């Protein structure tokens, strides 16, 4: 009986470890960072390239949006200038 309990105990610990490893990938923090945007100041109708790097897991339906602040750098009412679906 002791051998059976030891085997069960061993696999129980292994199962808990597998569950933790499986879900830890979903619990990792997501981040999005942009490279420096060159060419400032920008004129109206000027095209710019905004490169970004994302880490972590995102839902398939997420939309990445580039937003423009007002002249003082305030994003209270941002203007959407582009999106990546």
pLDDT digits (tens, 9 = 90+) for 35-44: 887 777 777 7
Q: Check residues 20 and 40 and name the one with the higher pLDDT.
A: 40
Number of domains the chain is built from? 1
pTM of the model: 0.53
Which residue blocks in 2-82 are alpha helix, DSSP H?
2-27
Q: How far is CA 38 from CA 35, 48, 52, in A?
A: 9, 8, 14
Tokens of 54: 């994302």
Tokens of 37: 């945007």
Domain that holds residue 66: 2-84
């Amino acid at each position: 009986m002791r051998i059976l309990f030891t085997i069960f105990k061993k696999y129980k610990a292994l199962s808990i470890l597998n569950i933790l490893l499986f879900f830890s990938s979903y619990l990792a923090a997501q981040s999005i960072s942009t490279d420096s945007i060159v060419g400032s100041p920008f004129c109206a109708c000027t095209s710019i390239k905004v490169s970004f790097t994302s880490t972590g897991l995102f839902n398939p339906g997420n939309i990445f949006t580039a937003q423009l602040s007002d002249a003082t750098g305030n994003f209270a009412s941002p203007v959407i200038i582009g999106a990546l679906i």
